[in-house]
Structures are given as structure tokens and as C-alpha cells.
Amino acid sequence: MIFSNSLTGFWASTGAARRASRPKAAYAPSDLDTAAQVCREACSILLQEDTPDARIRDAVWAKVPKATLQTAVATITQVTQSAAASDEQHAVAAVYPILRPVMTWWRQHLVWEATPAGKAALERWDFVRRHWGEPRSRWQTATTTGLPVAWRAVNGDEKGRIHPAAYTVWAVYSAWEALRRHDLYHPGSPRFGDPRAQLLQGPAWDAAKPHVLRILSWSAEPAEALAPLEQALDIAYRQTAGHWDANPAVRLESGVLRPRVVLTPLDRFEESATLRALRQQVNDRLPQPTLPELLLEVQQWTGFAEAFTHVSEGGDRIQDLALSVCAVLLTQACNIGLNPVVNPNVPALARDRLTWVAQNYVRADTLAAANATLVDYHGQLPLAQQWGSGEVASGDGMRFVVPVRTLHAGSNPKYFGMGRGVTHFNFVSDQFSGFHALVVPGTLRDSLVVLEGLLEQTSGLHPHEIMTDTAGYSDLIFGLFGLLGYQFSPRLADLGDARFWRIATDADYGVLNDLARARIRSDLIQRHWEDMLRVAGSLKWGTVNATALIQTLQRGGRPTVLGRAIGELGRIYKTRYLLAYLDDEGYRRRILTQLNRGEARHGLARAVFYGKRGELHQAYREGQEDQLSAVGLVVNAMVLWNTRYMGVTVDALREESVAIDETDLSRLSPLGHDHITMLGQYSFHVPESVAQGRLRPLTRPIRR
């Protein structure tokens, strides 16, 4: 790591010198202004759509003589090229004196390796290492491939001979840029290591490749793999263009560089009278348990406490462990500490017993296993299946202020005021159950963690479509989702600046032709197809962490060549998604509905996590994850309990010959909690009939 840090520190130290040495403009601003105005007048005529193409030149020459326009273009060219060259000349003058003292050490120790995209930068750096201190005549064999125009005047004299000082600065600059893109790397460095090191490779990749191709339904030949994507994109364009005139929600407005899409927001979905009546009838009949009773009842149905094993994984299970586990879960979920649940007269609720259980039984793996038990049980309930199949999910973050001193929290005034906090990123299925969650410091961009949560979840649900807010939106994420066979469906706050991409350059998409100007670089995808398949296989096999991989592929906003190739593939999937989003109101409403379910579930979690003003007081990441996972587990227990009793209530209403619309059933929600007592001194006792396995009687509705 000392190698990469040395170059990082050097480049940071030279920044002030480069800025201070930058010269003032050696030209009169009025010259450039005059030339720009001439070009503006010419371009204004070019942009007039009522001027026939055949007469466009005549119209331009009539307003701006040809010689005047040529002079203006020449002035702009001279000014910009001379300014760029002058900047590079002064960069050499500023940087080289700082560079000389460290070059002796660098040429011995800064030894890198390169990806295919970084070989040119590595070749330049190795040339400098070998020839540093040698006569100028030895430098004339240096490669100048990729030398920018602005550097050409600096690197050579009037006879075309290489200038060692300028070439050295350019080589160091190129190496630094390649290092930041991970095209150069130092094996073993945590920050500037090989971005492909954790991917399947060698014999392991050769053995896994046939399975990856079969599971993900990809062809090893890039042209064959891209053919169906090109066809699907073409069909999507033609379908959206064909429906355009009949779609009142969309229109095109003129923009500076390209047309802007304007999409009318969805109208509020009005609830029917029958839905309101059904919701009231169900709510009136639900039993009214306390939260401890609810947990014990759900434990009796599912046995989720069996997932809590001792950290040593040995020994017999202690008596009444489920009671102790439920008590510990409640104290963590409600953020209230042990005092409200301690009962010295009940051995399972004694303080020492609860402390011992919290330390030895409640941890990340047991919480995940118990949560999977609840999710799987809930997914089999008829009413849950009425809400969804479990193949659709959403991801969104809850923000928690962390007022204690900790390294595992980040600042964000919007959510945490002057303090710091963490984000609990939740994944919620279309059945309302939370099947996975991640804790990240601060408010890390959602797109960095959404794929990790999807790949690491262990429940019986297998969602293939994930919906997020706009913060989860990037070309790279679309590409990775597409490679892995998932559908990424973010809710877009503004479509106006979205770019639409095409593969077929000569296709006629009617009203969308001006919108679909950007071209997909199929050649870039094909060149890196093998590595893209390795990325997909490595993610599927779990050999690389998705969040770490995404950060590596696009570190600092400078994607690696592999990251750009995946992003190029993502543009195909993104454009198909955008076209469907514009064309189908039902699709947009389905995304909104699922995201609203996630937001409503967050509201329930906030109600549960009421202690200490809803602030998280865990200083270590493990403690934060365990406590917030306990919140998710308790919320899932409440969702399961509500769903089962709501199903019983619906059956009772049908027995009473109450007409129930299936559409109304699909719009009920198990996230209500007014009938559940969550405050007060907690008593872990259930009625005798419930202890014997029977359900509670429904509440008699109040006659109004």
C-alpha cells in the first residue's frame, strides 16, 4: 500500500503548484467573444427547422460571409489549442521540480501490473523507469501512442525529439489516472489492488463457466448473446412509438441538446367504498394482544426461536429458552433496555438469564435464520399470496441517528441534523415481509448495496424484480442486474434528462428518433464479454462482495474499462425499462405501490423502535446490525400475526355471507398496529387457550 499512497500523496502535493503556475490568458477576451458571436449567428440559422436543407449554406453565407466564419473558427481553434498547450507547459514547469527528488526511489519501488486497458500507461511508466537519468538520445524510442494534442507541443521540439522532463510528467500523470481507474494496480493493495483478483479465474472459472452460462441463460459468444437484446430493444422502441399518440401522460419538449421527456405524475388512486368498508370490518374484529403475547403466539405457530442456538453450537437447550429469546428481542426492537421485561419471579425472565441469552444466542446468523422462518411461514398464508407471489420486492433505507461516539456512523444534515447516523437498508417483498437488511454508515447511495442484499438473502423468496427510489439508479447497476437475470425497476423522479440509447443506427422509430440519438457501443461489450461473464459468475457464486465490486468498478466516478462495458450493457436494459415506464401506466403504478409498501413498513418499524427517542445507541457495527435486525424480526412477527388473523376474519365474513371483492382483498395491508399494545410494563403470559394452540376469538364488532 505504500506504493499507491506515495503517488497519491505526491499528486495531492503538486495540486497547489499546478494551480499557482497556471498562466493568465495570453489573448484578448474580445477576440474570443467576437468569434463566438459569429459562430452563434451561423448556428442559429442551422437550428431553424423551416430552412430547407438544400439551402442551408446559402442562408448561412447570406448572414455570415464564409471568410468571416472561417476566421472565427480559426480564432477559436488557436485560442483553445494554445491555452491547452500553455497549461501543459506550465504543469511541467510546476511539477517536474517536485518530481525529480522522488524519482530515484519511485523507479525502484513503484512497480505495477496492468489490465488490458492499462497496458499503454504501464508501457510509458516502465520506459521512464528504465531510462531515467540517461541522455536525451536514449529517450527518442519512447512511445507516443495516445499522446494528447495539448501534450504534443510540450513533449517534442521543432525536430520532433522527445523532451525527457515533459515525457516524465506525462507518464506519471497517465499512470496516476490509470491507477485511479484501476487499469493499473498493485497486487495486495486494499485500495489500488487488482479489481479482478476476487473474481473466478483460471481452473475455477473454467469449471464454473458452463454452469454460469446455463443458470443465467447466456451464450459464450458475445454476438449471439447480444442478438436477442437488440431485438427486444427494437421491439420496445416500436411499441412505445406506436402507442405515443394514444398516451396522454407523455410528451416531448425541445431541449438544449436533445428533446426532453415530460411525464405527467400519476393521479391518486381513489379507494372504493367497498374497500373502506372491508378494511373497517376487518379492523373491528381483530384481537387486541400486547406485543409480548403476539411474539409468543407467533413463536408457537412457527418455532422461530429454535433458530437461536448457543454461540458454542453445543450442549442441550435450556428450559424456556423461547420465552427468554422473545423478551430479549422485544427489548432490542423497542429500544428500551431490560428493565421493563425483567421479572425475578420467572427464571426465564431474570436479569442474569436475559443478559446471558442476549450475549450467547442473539447474533447475526441466528437472527437471519429466525427471520427466514417467519418469511417462509408468512409466504404460505392464503392472504399473503393474494398480495403477491414474492417475486417482486423493493429496497429502501431507514435513517437512524447515532448519538454515541462511533466510527460506524456518517454525517448527513438532512437526516441526522448536526449528528451522525446509519442507514438500515431494507428489502420488502410484495407480501409485506422484510426478507433481508443491511446496515451502512451515513446515507450511502442505495445503488451500492441493493444488489448485495438481493444476492445474500437466505429466505425462501426468490424475487427477480427489485424496485427502488431514484437513488438506486445507475447504468452499472442496470448492467449487473441484467447479467444476473434480474429486473431493475427504479422509480424515477425526473425523466427529462434521461438518455435513450439504441443499437440499430438506421432503424426508424418515428416520434422517438430525435430522442434515441445515443448509440450503444456493442464493440466494447463484445471485447469484455468474457470478463463480464466472470463478474456475473463470481457474484452468483458468492466469491466477491457485490458492494465492494461496484465501488471498485466505479471508484471516484471513474469507471474501469470493465465497469464501462457493464454500464454499456446496462444502457440496453435501462432504455428498455424507460420505454416500458413511459408506455405503461400500470407498470408505473405497480412500482409506486410496492415502494409505498416499503415506506409503510418503515412507519411500523418506527412505531416499534420508540425507546430513547428512536435513536440508536450502539457504538459498534455488529451491535447496530443485531439490534436493527431484531427490529425487522419483530416487525415481521407483527405482519405475520396480522396476516393470519386478517385471513381468519375474512373467512368469518364470508361465512356471514358478506360479499368480498378479490380486488379489495389485494389492497388490504397487514401493517396496522393500533390494536397491538406496545407500551407499558411487559408481561410474557398468554391465555390458556392460546397456549394450547388455539387462535384467539375475534373481537365482536361495535354496532354503529
* Signed CA dihedral, 521, 522, 523, 524: sign only: positive
* pLDDT grade for 358, boundaries at 50, 70 and 90: very high
CB 429 within 8 A of CB 636: no
pLDDT digits 0-9 by tens, 77-99:
665 544 444 444 555 556 667 77
Q: Which three cell numbers stand for residue 109?
A: 519501488
CA-to-CA dists, residue 142 to 116, 117, 185, angstroms: 20, 19, 22
Average pLDDT, stretch 22-36? Answer: 57
Average pLDDT, stretch 105-133? Answer: 80
Q: For residues 138 and 158, give the distance between their C-alpha atoms in angstroms, rounded to a whole number.
A: 18
pLDDT digits 0-9 by tens, 168-227:
777 887 887 777 777 787 776 766 667 667 788 889 899 999 999 999 999 999 999 999
**Alpha-carbon dihedral angle through residues 44, 45, 47, 53, given to the nearest 10 degrees:** -170
Is 50 exceeded by the pLDDT of residue 1? Answer: no
Q: What is the DSSP code (8-state) at residue 518?
A: E
Classified as helix, coil or strand, 268 is coil
Q: CB under 8 Å to 502, separation ≥6 — which residues? A: 233, 237, 509, 516, 517, 518, 519, 520, 575
Is 50 exceeded by the pLDDT of residue 162? Answer: yes
Q: For residues 634 and 330, give the distance between their C-alpha atoms in angstroms, rounded to a whole number.
A: 7
Residue with cell 442507514: 423
Residue 492 has phi, psi (to 5 degrees) of: -100, 125
- Tell if the pTM clears 0.85, that is, is over it: no
| Range with lowest mean pLDDT among 271-275, 412-416, 525-529, 557-561 | 412-416
Q: CB under 8 Å to 270, separation ≥6 — which residues? A: none
CB 402 within 8 A of CB 617: yes
Nearest to 154 by CA among 241, 79, 88: 88
Identify which has the larger pLDDT, 518 or 176. 518
| Range with lowest mean pLDDT among 140-144, 442-446, 464-468, 585-589 | 442-446
Residue with cell 421491439: 235
Nearest to 615 by CA among 401, 337, 334, 397: 401
Give me the helix-helix angle, 273-285 and 621-655, nearest 10°: 100
Q: Which three cell numbers stand for residue 269?
A: 388512486
Nearest to 113 by CA among 193, 53, 213: 193
What average pLDDT is seen over the chain?
83
Average pLDDT, stretch 340-359? Answer: 93
* Signed CA dihedral, 481, 482, 483, 484: sign only: positive
Residue 684 has phi, psi (to 5 degrees) of: -90, 80
Q: CB under 8 Å to 310, separation ≥6 — which residues? A: 360, 361
Average pLDDT, stretch 314-334? Answer: 89
Nearest to 389 by CA among 381, 399, 398, 400: 381
Identify which has the larger pLDDT, 274 or 318. 274
Q: What is the pLDDT of residue 56?
A: 73
Average pLDDT, stretch 611-623? Answer: 91
Q: How far is CA 285 from the centre of its chain?
A: 42
Q: What is the DSSP code (8-state) at residue 618?
A: -
SS3 content of the chain, % helix, strand, coil (to 5): 60, 10, 35
